[in-house]
Amino acid sequence: MKNQSTRSNIDWMVVSLYFVLVVLGWLNIYSSSLPLEETSIFDMSQIYGKQLLFILLSIPLIIMILSIDGKFFEKFASVFFIVSLLSLAGLFVFGKEIKGQANWYSFGSFSLQPAEFAKAATALALSKYMGDVQVNLSAYKYQFQALGIIFLPILLIIPHDPGSALIFSSMILVLYREGLPAWYLWTGFIAIILFILSLLFEPIYIVLAALLVTIAIFFKSRPMNRNVVLSSIVFVLISAFTFSVDYVFDNVFQQHHRDRFNILLGKEVDMRGIGYNINQSKIAIGSGGWTGKGFLEGTQTKGGFVPEQHTDYIFTTVGEEWGFTGSLIVIALFVALILRILYLAERQKTKFSRVYGYCVASILFIHFFINTAMVLGLFPTVGVPLPMFSYGGSGLLAFTILIFIFVKMDANKVNEW
Amino acid sequence: MRKVLLPTIIIVSALLILARLFYLQIVDESLKLKSDNNAIKIIYEYPERGYIYDRNGTLIVANQPSYDIMVTPKDVKNIDTLELCKLLNITKADFIRIVEKARVYSPRLPSVFLPQLNKREYAAFQEKQRKFQGFDIVKRSLRDYQTTAGSNIFGFITQVNEKKIESNSYYKSGDLIGQQGVEQEYENILRGIKGVKYRQRDKFNKDIGSYKDGKFDTIAVQGEDIKLTIDIALQEYGEELMKNKRGGIVAIEPSTGEILALVTAPSYDPSILVGRERSKNYTRLYNDSIAKPLFDRALLGEFPPGSPFKILTGLVALQEGVIDERTTFFCNHGFSYGRGRFMRCHGSGPHQLLNGISQSCNTYFANAFMRTIDKYKNPAQAVDIWSSHIKSFGLGDFMGYDLPTGKKGLIPSSKIYKRIYPNGGWRSTTIISNSIGQGEVLMTPIQLANMMAAVANEGTYFTPHIVKKIKDHRIDDKFLTRHKTSINPMYFKPVIEGLHAVYNGGTASALRIDGIEICGKTGTAENYSKINGKRTQLTDHSIFVAFAPKDNPKIAIAVLVENGYYGARNAGPMASLMIEKYLKGSISRKDLEVKIYSNDLQKEYAKYISGQPFGINGK
């Protein structure tokens, strides 16, 4: 019996980690959004009440995903992908603006964030494409097509939600696992380094440094490997990139974007204006000490000092109330979940489910990393939620779908023989 | 190898995050202090605000102690509300409203419960304070004014508003801050820096000593005293003269740019904005939209300058070489310029510069202005050259003085006329009214006074300023820099002779003071107002500018009395009395003084709002 085998093959470790994180997340939302008066935990007018509703909703959703035939997701991957691309495009017309970003569709009292669901759809589409036997990432044609699947949603989303765009780009790591040449990653890595450097120093110094390095590499390498044309091209590209970063930063970025970088690079110290969020966030976490102030005892949390604490800054509650110990446990749980998914992905029998597992792991990882780094003042402020923790129905349900599709694929693998 | 990359990145990133967490949570101690920890209570120590003295060292603004009752909503437990209300003479509804408002600001931080108790109320409350948990007393200092004048100069202090609290972390709810005048401009110097003490408390709210042996505590820094450039006796006298009139007087010491008096009328006694009646009184002043006692006419009132502007018209014409001392224009009760347009003039006969000024001849200056503009082929270019000469006297812009309010006035340039006459066709005659200070030109009283200071100095001036000395440091260098006008100093001599002649046989010959050689100029400015939507001419503004003595001038002054009729009627005598008061210290011409005191313009102002038809200029 199929159902029987599915149930016994479910990876209970992933499922338990998922539920532990969801419950811990809710406890922190409860703490950060608890009003001063006594209320019921089911009070739907309160943030934590709504989140509890979403958690309860995710249970039938999980059961549904687990009982659907495993082939269903592969068959309909393209459909999901097209629907989410359309829903992202529709934001330009019908999008509702919440907190300055038109990321939402509004249905009466409910709002839906299509970008959250598009992550799972893109992961499915990429897996389906990679699952094709012909696809071989050593050929340019396939490289571009695979990258195209990732960049299509990015193009649609970057104008109103640069944070989510970053999430999608993490799937390039999956392509590397599947054979994408390493120089793609090197290029990306060097671009990031150059970006940061050109914000810190005048572009002309970076170009001079790049020239020295290029010449040094040129003469260090063996004469037969010396390629004047390639070296010059690389140097020209680096110079062009450096100057364009400088230009884009000064002329295309808006002031609040610039401020976010400047805070991080220590160029701004205005702790009441733009630096307020990040400063309050650091204070809340820093005041936690070894063991924290205890559940519902966080003074920064209770005082409402950290803006957006129940969404993007939920980790500050963990840091303040549970201290270093609690934060360590939460981080360990996330790492365990992500590594477990990677481990299961490597065990998959089909390329489709392996690629999908990798996508899930990268998406979870990039969320986790960017969110915690931002809260700790290591990354500029972008709207990236902490999976399972941050308040938000769309986010929670989308992560549930993302993870449990993989749980279903993994449970199904015995039947693939 | 490819399989290892992602797990490696994940583990390295997690370690990075943990390292950062370790640093923030375990290593960096300052964050723990910054967190509004339950166990630490912050006590602020408010320094006394700096005193304000006048230029002669007379104390004019001191302090008096005042006590605020603060409430921390979270700590309010088991108190007898009724007893508290009775003690402080408030209702239960007040109590609930104030505590609720405080809770909205912050349940954990203290907010003002009842501000500015006097000593008796304070004593009564202090006796029973231990019964009211969550209520504290904070001692602050309020202003204690030694004069009833100068409210527009001082400004006032008030509780800081929420916007300021958000934008400046120094201020906490209930703190006092200077608003308007010197109190605002020199807030950082006057207020000092409050001290902070961190006290540890146990969970029963009991003080258990200082936090970390006071490592983070700071001591309050006293506010610094300020010495103003104002002569308080002169200021008081100016306000006295201005009673029952509207307008402004500005007196400046030409050799330094120091403002000796800055009078606006109507005004108010600064002490009514102190204490618990402050808010009520302020609202009353604020709502008086007719007399506008909060509107500093000396700095903000933009008026057509009228005849005093002829001084500049003459100077520019001399500088541009289109007239000299001996140039003669013939006046026949006016000046006709093109197609039946005629500018009236009260005098007649041939005029040269000297009697042109002393008789205030419109014809003379209209001609001089026309020659200035017509010197250039293009009127736009000519107006811009003329305009930049005028602006070199600090006009048509904020002057940069150390008070927080101001108006630019208006010195027209070609841009303005291109906008008014988009099809061109404007020439010197089109804009001729500017020659006699009507037309587009607008000036504030302080600009008029500064213009006189520049004339007195024969072409240079210092940016006017109100602060002479701040306890131990020098005032801003920008007030010690001499500015040059674009007029050659040699052209001032004949103009000054003309201004001197105003008192000797000219329009102000009745206002001479024995022993003081004054140079002055009368002004009578036509002005209009909208009454019931209709542009209606009102009685002329009475204007007078002067400086004295003629040699080595000590005071330059501008007086403007709204709707005070001709210059020598109100403004002239007031300027002359102010000069006498400042230079001699006492008044010899008591009859003139009495005449000004009794000159009540309230009836004149009442006419305009009566809704009835009215005559102007004495008719």
**What's the domain count of chain A?**
2
Contact of A271 with chain B, judged by CB distance below 8 Å, is answered with: yes
Give the span between the Cα atoms of B162 and B172, in whole angstroms: 9
Could you say which of A227, A252, A277 is where a domain stops?
A252
Alpha-carbon gap: B31 to the closest alpha carbon of chain A (Å)? 5
Give the span between the Cα atoms of A412 and A71, in whole angstroms: 9
Residue A416's pLDDT band (boundaries 50, 70, 90)? very low
Contact B46, B140 (CB under 8 A): yes
The tally of CA atoms less than 13 A away on the side-chain side of residue B447 is 32
Q: Which domain holds residue B69?
A: 40-89+100-226
**What's the domain count of chain B?**
2
In a domain, B58, yes or no: yes
pLDDT of residue A48: 87
Asked if residue A220 and residue A158 are part of one domain, the reply reads no
Predicted confidence (pLDDT) at residue A174 exceeds the cutoff of 50: yes
Asked if residue B150 and residue B252 are part of one domain, the reply reads no
Q: Which of A166, A149, A137, A129 minimizes the C-alpha distance to A355?
A: A129
Asked if residue A40 and residue A125 are part of one domain, the reply reads yes
CB contact (8 A) between residue B21 and residue A327: yes
Asked if residue A132 and residue A90 are part of one domain, the reply reads yes
Asked if residue A263 and residue A182 are part of one domain, the reply reads yes
Give the span between the Cα atoms of B540 and B73, in whole angstroms: 59
Asked if residue A293 and residue A174 are part of one domain, the reply reads yes
Asked if residue B249 and residue B164 are part of one domain, the reply reads no
Asked if residue A201 and residue A182 are part of one domain, the reply reads no
In a domain, B21, yes or no: no
What integer is the mean pLDDT of A64-80?
A: 90
What's the mean per-residue pLDDT of chain A? 84
CB contact (8 A) between residue B37 and residue A378: no
* CA A325 remoteness from chain centre: 24
Asked if residue B425 and residue B342 are part of one domain, the reply reads yes
CATH number of the domain encompassing residue B317? 3.40.710.10
Asked if residue B136 and residue B182 are part of one domain, the reply reads yes
Alpha-carbon gap: B39 to the closest alpha carbon of chain A (Å)? 10
pLDDT of residue A271: 47
To which H or E segment does residue A328 belong?
Answer: helix A314-347
Predicted confidence (pLDDT) at residue A80 exceeds the cutoff of 80: yes
Asked if residue B380 and residue B481 are part of one domain, the reply reads yes
In a domain, B207, yes or no: yes
- Chunked into runs of 10 residues, chain B (619 residues) has average pLDDT values of 89 94 84 58 83 93 88 82 85 87 78 82 83 84 90 91 80 86 91 81 59 73 91 95 93 95 93 83 89 92 92 94 89 73 74 88 91 90 93 92 92 90 85 90 95 94 93 82 93 93 82 87 87 86 92 94 87 93 90 89 86 79
Could you say which of B199, B226, B253 is where a domain stops?
B226
Give the closest of B25, B108, B168 to A319, CB-based. B25
DSSP state of B435: G
Give the span between the Cα atoms of B484 and B459, in whole angstroms: 6
Asked if residue B313 and residue B183 are part of one domain, the reply reads no
Beta-bridge partners for B289? none
Asked if residue A28 and residue A50 are part of one domain, the reply reads yes
Contact of A329 with chain B, judged by CB distance below 8 Å, is answered with: no
pLDDT of residue A49: 87
Contact of A316 with chain B, judged by CB distance below 8 Å, is answered with: no
In a domain, B586, yes or no: yes
Contact B542, B561 (CB under 8 A): yes
Q: What are A273-282's pLDDT values in tens digits?
A: 456 677 778 8
A chain contacts of residue B31, beta-carbon cutoff 8 Å: 282-283, 285-287
Asked if residue B237 and residue B252 are part of one domain, the reply reads yes
Torsion-angle region of A297 (φ positive above 0: left; ψ -120 to 50: alpha; else: beta): alpha
Alpha-carbon gap: B475 to the closest alpha carbon of chain A (Å)? 28
pLDDT of residue A359: 95
Q: Which of B91, B54, B433, B432 minimizes the C-alpha distance to B233?
A: B54
Asked if residue A289 and residue A150 are part of one domain, the reply reads yes
Asked if residue B521 and residue B564 are part of one domain, the reply reads yes
Alpha-carbon gap: B224 to the closest alpha carbon of chain A (Å)? 27
Predicted confidence (pLDDT) at residue A260 exceeds the cutoff of 80: no
Give the span between the Cα atoms of B75 and B70, in whole angstroms: 11
pLDDT of residue B15: 95
Give the closest of B21, B37, B106 to A324, CB-based. B21
Could you say which of A252, A273, A298 is where a domain stops?
A252
Q: Which domain holds residue A240?
A: 188-252
Asked if residue A174 and residue A306 are part of one domain, the reply reads yes
Q: Over A153-222, what HEC string results?
A: HHHHHCCCCHHHHHHHHCCHHHHHHCCCCHHHHHHHHHHHHHHHHHHHCCHHHHHHHHHHHHHHHHHHCC
In a domain, B3, yes or no: no
Contact A346, A361 (CB under 8 A): no
What integer is the mean pLDDT of A190-217?
A: 85
Collapsing DSSP to helix, strand or coil, B574 comes out as helix
Asked if residue B159 and residue B214 are part of one domain, the reply reads yes
Asked if residue B241 and residue B211 are part of one domain, the reply reads no
Contact of B39 with chain A, judged by CB distance below 8 Å, is answered with: no
In a domain, B16, yes or no: no
Contact of B14 with chain A, judged by CB distance below 8 Å, is answered with: yes
Pick the residue from chain B with its C-alpha nearest to A181.
B2
In a domain, B32, yes or no: no
The tally of CA atoms less than 13 A away on the side-chain side of residue B318 is 23
Could you say which of B192, B211, B226 is where a domain stops?
B226
CATH number of the domain encompassing residue B125? 3.90.1310.10
Distances, alpha carbon B270 to alpha carbons B157, B249, B285, in Å: 10, 18, 12
CB contact (8 A) between residue B7 and residue A342: yes
Question: In A, residues 372-401, which contact B (CB 8 Å cutoff)?
Answer: 372-373, 376-378
B chain contacts of residue A331, beta-carbon cutoff 8 Å: 14, 17-18, 21
pLDDT of residue A234: 85
DSSP, residue by residue, B279-348: HHHHHHHHH-TTT-TTS-HHHH--B---GGGHHHHHHHHHHTTS--TT--EEEEEEEE-STT-EEEEEEE
Could you say which of B197, B226, B255 is where a domain stops?
B226
Question: In A, residues 156-185, which contact B (CB 8 Å cutoff)?
Answer: 173, 176-177, 179
| Burial class of residue A193 (count of CB atoms within 10 Å of its CB; 0-12, 13-18, 19+) | exposed
Q: Which of B412, B398, B406 minimizes the C-alpha distance to B440?
A: B412
Asked if residue A183 and residue A146 are part of one domain, the reply reads yes
pLDDT of residue A304: 58
The tally of CA atoms less than 13 A away on the side-chain side of residue A44 is 5
Contact of A123 with chain B, judged by CB distance below 8 Å, is answered with: no
Could you say which of A209, A236, A252 is where a domain stops?
A252
Contact A43, A401 (CB under 8 A): no
Give me B493's structure tokens.
Answer: 């001599």
A chain contacts of residue B9, beta-carbon cutoff 8 Å: 173, 365
DSSP state of B129: G
Asked if residue A324 and residue A281 are part of one domain, the reply reads yes
How many contacts, defined by CB atoms under 8 Å, are there between A and B?
112
Asked if residue A213 and residue A313 are part of one domain, the reply reads no
Most confident listed range (A71-85, A244-258, B76-90): A71-85
ipTM for this prediction = 0.89
Asked if residue B279 and residue B152 are part of one domain, the reply reads no
Asked if residue B175 and residue B278 are part of one domain, the reply reads no
